[in-house]
Structure 1
Amino acid sequence: MNHVLIGISGGIAAYKVCEIVSSLAKRGIEVRVILTRSATEFVTPLTFATLSRQPAYTDADFWQPSHGRPLHIELAEWADLFLLAPVTANTLAKLAYGMADNLLTNTVLASNCPMLFAPAMNTTMWLQTSVQENWRKVLQDSRYTAIAPTDGILACDAVGTGRMAEPEVILEYIESFLLTGGKRDLKGKHILVNAGGTREFIDPVRFIGNPSTGKQGIAIAKAAIHRGAKVTLVSTASSPLPMGEGPAAVKVARTSAEMHRAMLEEFPHADITIAAAAVGDVRSQLNSDRKLPKSELPLNLQLEYIPDIVADLASRKRLDQILVGFAAQTGDEEEVIAAAKEKLARKGLDAIAANAVNSLQTGFGTDTNQATFIHKNGHRQSTPICSKLELAHRLFDFLQS
């Protein structure tokens, strides 16, 4: 069983941590919570003890006579992952300078597991020179991974940067870190990913398309961010990415032509490109700029082939670049693998993920997936049915094996 220790500082964003604790406990992850004295002014220890089904600790527990090993040592050694959320300006300063004046900060210094921290404070406070210096200082420690604050309306009615990341974003980081042990092996790398199903328009309201939602490509982009990479996502829909330590950009491309242009523009800068989008194979020669009346719609559409984006990228690939494709196939395992191997060779890829889409658990729009990764050198590895985020991490592990 995975052990997640959560440290809560005194900020209004403490209420968001209730959802995180509850979600983790429901997934069978053992959670324990430490609250600073000021954190108890926002949410009670009883709330977290109830949600986690475990004791919630405060400074009152820290200063009690010990009947065994010191509490901060026990908690530090118990944790597989330590989440600090929210991190206030006060706690950030303590982290930056290694201070230990309460149970939370003593436990931080006594631990050696990966640390996630999510700051939250008023915009003016966040932008203070001293706070930004402390932020940068903490990030110099390789054990710490930041979940950066976001823009929005704050509790004080100010609008700007300072909102703690939403629970679903933090939960995805936790899932990634429990899978990888907090690896930051993509730091310094630029990862380019495309996602979603393209639409080839007949007129402004009708198109030829496919059921792809882009979930797998977006999960790959998030996994790369969690592992420290700079990421560019070219998606058929606007898909916000978490703010990691490296920059992340999203470009929207609805049609194959738009996606082709965007990928060609970004490809020269990428170390690893993963083409997870379901790009159309054909498009209508008819493309009206006005909605056509039903009576004007041709019963027999004249179609033309769409240029192959991945094959074009492969023809431009440098020796230091890695290009990975996806093969969404139907049929039994043997048919899926055979089709993927043919695409791997024909398109000149470094690796391909063979993915059966004729399954309720691995088809378009599902939250789970399964794939067989095939390298051009013949190395092959299959995954179990798992979350799309886990499959993304398994793909990055495969590429580096």
Structure 2
Amino acid sequence: MKKEKLLAILRLQATKNVGDIVAKKLISATGSPEQVYKESPKSLAKIPGIGSHILQHLFDKKTLYKAEKELCFLDNNNYSFSYFFDNDYPNNLKQCIDAPILIFNDGNIDLNNSKILAIVGTRNITSYGREFCVELIKDLTQYNPIIVSGFAYGVDICAHKNAIKNNLQTIAVLAHGLEEIYPKTHKKHIHSVNKNGGFITEFWHDEQPVRENFLKRNRIVAGLSQATIVIESAKKGGSLVTADIANSYNRDVFALAGRATDVFSTGCNDLIKSNKAHLLTSANDIAKMLNWDLQPSSAPKQIELFVNLNEKEQKVYDYLTIRGKQLLDIIALDCDIPVYQLSSILIQMELKNVITPLPGKMFEV
């Protein structure tokens, strides 16, 4: 990636009132991150949702200085990064409207595997939770999934360690920069995680693990994953936030039930009672729900030939053929078609039997 482009992306990340959704809107409207800073404030003000509260900070020289410092660090270190609009950006995460515009990673991460599971839960894991986590990951090994978690105490580190023990790739999503580590006692696991997967974060290299960062981190854990598994949680906790986010992304959530008297089963029991999570008893539950245990049909799928598509319909069709199922808002961004127009286009394509609508405003060929 050219330095000018990366600098513009970093500058957007550093700008007050410009979150990931607004940044994507600016880039989509202008054509590139660099072009955002070549447009006049008057021109940018015409973009829906871009008001004075954003424009007053967008050209602040302080953000440029910060971005230049981070760019200098990246130039002198071996960390990789993925830009939202590039092909190497994680596909599951790209389907989330609030996905980070830029993520940094370290290690040997390979996201070609479509079987990606988040395993989260209390930091105060009990022997019941630990034993279940150990057996679950051991039994999941036959499906070769990637195990994602947050590198915290308790369930998180138990999931990472057992993924490594069973030769599964594991990804630790951090609530701080790659030059920091939290908790400090987990420094001893850095090498083994990097060897068997690696670390992902949206935060700049020296960002500290402050409270709000952990909540932001949770959306990446849920977004990267095909499904989220909660192993033990009190009535309130970060893992329940992750489960809620996964539900908002229309991803499956599983929870380990426990005795009504067990404090660290209360949250899981509540998820199951409120139909926010499937009851989890074994790896087989996950495989069945996610269709991992089904063999592909040997009969070829019959498709209608010679369907007439107009230029925009063909553009959307080609995009979905390459990308697979995608969220409405993401299709609009990537295909540069306003949402109100895209909705009409998708309806026509559905009537022509070339796409299928899915829950949560998602579509696939």
TM over 0.5: no
TM value normalised by structure 1: 0.28
Q: Which has the higher helix share?
A: 2
- Select the structure of larger CA radius of gyration: 1
Q: Which has the higher strand share?
A: 1
